[in-house]
Amino acid sequence: MRFIETRGNDGKKPASVTFSEAILSPSASFGGLYVPESLPDLGISFLNKHLSSSYKTLAMDFLETFGIDIDKETIQAALDRYDAFDDPQNPVPLSEIEQDCCVAELYHGPTRAFKDMALQPFGYILSKLAEKRNEHYLIMAATSGDTGPATLETFKNQPNVKVACLYPDGGTSDVQRLQMVTEDAPNLKVIGVKGNFDDTQNTLKSLLASEDFKAELEARNIKLSAANSVNFGRIIFQIIYHIHSYLEMVRCGKITMGEKIYLVVPSGNFGNALGGYYAKKAGLPVEKILISSNANNILTDWINKGEYDLNGRELIMTESPAMDILKSSNIERVMYDKFGAERTKELMEALASEGKFVLSDAERASLQEDFAASWSDDTLCEAEIAHYVKKGYMMDPHTATCIKAYETLRSETLPTVIYSTAEWTKFSPTVAKALGHPVEGDVEALKWVSAHANVKVPEMINNLFNKPVVHTVVVEKEKIKEEMLGFL
Ligand SMILES: *Cc1c(COP(=O)(O)O)cnc(C)c1O
Contact criterion met (CB below 8 Å) for 324 and 315: yes
Q: Is the dihedral of CA 202, 328, 114, 4 positive or negative?
A: negative
Indicate the helix (H) or strand (E) that contains 36: strand 34-36
Decide: 419 in ligand 1 pocket, CB within 6 A.
no
Rounded distance from Cα 150 to ligand 1 centre (Å): 12
Give which of 268, 227, 217 is closest to 142, Cα–Cα.
227
- CA–CA distance, 78 with 76 (Å, rounded to integer): 5
297 lines ligand 1 (CB under 6 A): no
- Ligand 1 mean position, distance from CA 267 (Å): 6
Q: Is 426 in the pocket of ligand 1 (CB under 6 A)?
A: no
Query: Which three-class secondary structure state does DSSP give residue 29?
Result: helix
Domain boundaries, the chain: 80-112+233-466
Nearest CA to 272 out of 317, 311, 241 is that of 241
321 C-alpha to center of ligand 1: Å?
9
Spacing, Cα 395 to ligand 1 middle (Å) = 14
* Residues in CB range of 343: below 8 A, 6 or more apart: 335
Instruction: Say which CATH topology domain 80-112+233-466 has.
Output: Rossmann fold (3.40.50)
β partners of residue 261? 286
Ligand 1 in reach of 422 Cβ (< 6 A):
yes
pLDDT in tens, the chain (488 residues): 999 999 999 999 999 999 999 999 998 999 999 999 999 999 999 999 999 999 999 999 999 999 999 999 999 999 999 999 999 999 999 999 999 999 999 999 999 999 999 999 999 999 999 999 999 999 998 887 889 999 999 999 999 999 999 998 888 889 999 999 999 999 999 999 998 777 888 888 888 888 889 899 999 999 988 888 889 999 999 999 999 999 999 999 999 999 999 999 999 999 999 999 999 999 999 999 999 999 999 999 999 999 999 999 998 999 999 999 899 999 999 999 999 999 999 999 999 999 999 999 999 999 999 999 999 999 999 999 999 999 999 999 999 999 999 999 999 999 999 999 999 999 999 999 999 999 989 999 999 999 999 999 999 999 999 999 999 999 998 888 889 988 98
Residue 270 beta carbon below 6 angstroms from any ligand 1 atom: yes
Atom of ligand 1 at shortest distance to CA of 265? 9
Phi, psi of 157 (to 5 degrees): 60, 15
> For ligand 1, is residue 269 a contact (CB within 6 Å)?
yes
d(CA 486, CA 87): 40
Name residue 161's beta-bridge partners.
137
Q: What is the pTM of this model?
A: 0.96
- Residue 271 CA: which ligand 1 atom is closest? 7
420 lines ligand 1 (CB under 6 A): no
- The finding on whether 229 has its CB within 6 A of some atom of ligand 1 is yes
Nearest CA to 241 out of 70, 418, 461 is that of 418
Residues 6+ apart with CB under 8 A from 427: 173, 319, 320, 396, 397, 398
Ligand 1 pocket member 296 (CB < 6 A)? no
Q: Residue 238: CB within 6 Å of ligand 1? A: no
Kindly give the distance from the C-alpha atom of residue 324 to the centroid of ligand 1, in angstroms, as a whole number: 9
Closest-CA residue, ligand 1 atom 8, reads 269
Q: List the residue whose alpha carbon is closest to atom 14 of ligand 1.
A: 322
